[in-house]
A and B are shown apart, each in its own frame.
Chain A
């Protein structure tokens, strides 16, 4: 394949320009993919941080975390179900946080509060600093580390919405934002206090939570267990955490939008590569005819094009990946941006496939060039 490489090296201009075009397209795709990953993670962090297998909702609320309301007493009944390892109540409140006792409108930040039973499912995973609230320890919370950029530190006090209940920060967790907002994790008693202030209509004769976080026994089939839970607890709907995430409002629409843009970008990449190879093949038709006449096999000529396609696509992808990492490192933390190796690998595979297909499309043209045309061409 020396011929393919020498051509690229000595006709750098043209190969470099199409290579840069491919690199820029890859850069765009990787950036979009990383933003989508960042958005996805930012929206679902708290749900994933629950680190449980199933979520039990109030039936008839269409898996809405906000509208769902389940009596905390259901925990015992759910725990009795075959295949269930442990159950914990999870309360969710959505609102604003502040670091001052007085409400100063400009100093508010968006924040949700998740209440859970320490030691039970629903306790957040991903503690990076400090500690989690202990069982029965009211008035303390662990918060998502994104609030560090608002100047919140361990030992600070935060307040939720209009409540004047001080909550001391005792630790930080990562990747636990919900709808792109930091989550404050408190034990359920504290959460009930806040609920009474901001949603008094939800306080009834017995304590409630929004959902139940359910861990299944090792080896048990989660969807099987989900059905069992629903039949033991009338009026509930139990789904896997992945299904609950997919049902989050706007998430699948957001993914579809990004995938459409990414798909269109790839279409552009495919057209660029295919046209490039079609044009250089057309331009080299005479040369290809001559090479065939002096004994070159179609297979090796086509192989050259394939090698060139790979030598364009692979460095273009790697270059774009390096640039995207650099850009990602300089982005402000508020911008959703996260690198998902699996997604990047997919981008790389698609890029290489697009280049290979672009090269393959010129094979037919190459195979149809008749070596007999090498003789008697122009001056006859």
Chain B
């Protein structure tokens, strides 16, 4: 396990830097440089977002007037107990759910008005997801798992292959490119999942409980890697977690309780 943890530390493949500003201008990370041309640009903006399930007496409010905003290169933790509404908020920000009311824009696009087809396109092109159980396609190799994300976004094959090669190298996965998930360790799988999330150079990276199925050491390593990638590449990152130990790698923490965002 120690191996995997240190493995992950190195896996970033980028100059060590916890500092957002410095990382953003590192020459070794091209898209980070592009992205942070306008420093501090707002990427995710949600205002007074509510989600009500059902209607009448049976109506349950999962989220009440939630507002969050995130800048480029900012990594935010969304903390809350089970049923607090953090999953609902993450789903809304990721164009997986349409809010009952409120306004959500991601890089200037109002995502509350999208049809399900447009949502699907939007997710493919602009959002990178990292799921709880890595959720790689079990019969595809590491490379292919990354390439399907490009396929869904209709990225030309050649270009997608180049991008995947670069990411594999940066994530320290070059040697493992032709391995299928069952041949990879938990940490390696999560690195492939991070690679898949970065594949289409999204505006925002949404992370759902990345440490739920990892031990503390590996969990810490994964979150560290995520923080480095998000900051280094100038993405807006949101991580849902109920593990307070992970908070130290994020820029700020938003707590949510009974559907209400506090602090």
Residues of A whose CB lies within 8 Å of any CB of B are 2-3, 6-7, 10-11, 286-287, 290-297, 371-372, 374-380
| Residues A372 and B135 in contact in the complex (CB < 8 Å), given A291-B148, A380-B82 | no
B256 CB, nearest partner CB in chain A, Å: 13
Check if B189 is an interface residue, CB within 8 A of chain A: no
Complex interface: chain A residues within 8 A of B83 (CB): 380
Bound-state CA distance A296–B151 (Å) is 9
Distance A286 CA – B123 CA, assembled complex (angstroms): 17
Q: Give min CB distance, B52 to chain A, whole Å.
A: 15
Specify which of B90, B97, B125, B138 is in contact with A295 (CB 8 Å cutoff): B125
B79 → A minimal CB distance (Å)? 13
- Knowing A290-B135, A291-B137, A297-B117 are in contact, say whether A375-B87 is a contact too (CB < 8 A): yes
Tell me if B140 and A6 are in contact (CB < 8 A): yes
Bound complex: CA of A8 vs CA of B34, how far in Å?
41
Residue B153 contacts which of A291, A295, A371, A375 (CB distance < 8 angstroms)? Answer: A295
Q: Contacts A6-B144, A294-B149, A375-B208; is A380 near B117 (CB within 8 Å)? A: no
- Chain B residue nearest to A7 (CB atoms) is B139
CB-CB under 8 A for A375 and B137, given A295-B125, A295-B149, A296-B120: no
Contact call B124/A294, Cβ cutoff below 8 A: yes
Knowing A6-B144, A376-B91, the reply to whether A287 touches B135 (Cβ < 8 A) is: yes
Bound together, the chains give a CA A321 to CA B151 distance in angstroms of 37
> Which A residues lie within 8 Å of B196 (CB)?
294
A296 to B83: give the CA distance in the assembly, Å.
Answer: 28
A295 CB contacts on chain B under 8 angstroms: 120-121, 123-125, 149, 152-153
CB nearest neighbor in B for A373: B96
Neighbouring A residues of B91 by C-beta, 8 Å: 372, 375-376
Q: Is the beta-carbon distance between A379 and B120 smaller than 8 angstroms?
A: no
Question: Measured between alpha carbons, how far is A371 from B127 in the docked complex, in Å?
Answer: 14
Q: Does B247 contact A (CB under 8 A)?
A: no
The 10 lowest CB-CB distance pairs between A and B, nearest first, are A295-B124, A376-B87, A379-B212, A295-B152, A10-B139, A372-B96, A290-B135, A295-B123, A375-B208, A372-B91
Chain B positions within 8 Å of A296 at CB level: 120, 124, 148, 152
Contact A10 B180, beta carbon cutoff 8 Å: yes
Select from chain B the residue with minimum beta-carbon distance to A286. Answer: B135
